Amino acid sequence: MSFTFSGDRQVREFPCQCCNSTVERTRAQLSKGGVDRAMFYASCYHHAAGGEVYFDIIIGTWGAGDSSDHVTFGCRWGAIEGHDQPMCSLTTGAGVFGDDPIFGAKLDRNAALASPLLPEFWDMVDFLLLNDPIVVRFINSHQARLR
Q: What is the pLDDT of residue 68?
A: 93
Q: Name which of 87, 12, 13 is nearest 50 in CA terms.
A: 87
Whole-number average pLDDT of the chain: 88
Residue 49: pLDDT over 80: no
Q: What is the pLDDT of residues 69-123, one digit of tens each?
A: 999 999 999 988 888 888 999 999 999 888 899 999 999 999 999 999 999 999 9
- Cα–Cα distance for residue pair 52/136, rounded to 1 Å: 12
What is the arithmetic mean of pLDDT over 27-49?
Answer: 88
Is residue 19 over pLDDT 70?
A: no
Burial of 27 (0-12, 13-18, 19+ CB in 10 A): middle
**According to the model, what pLDDT value does residue 53 have?**
93
146, pLDDT greater than 60: no
pLDDT at residue 27 is higher than 90: yes
pLDDT at 79: 83
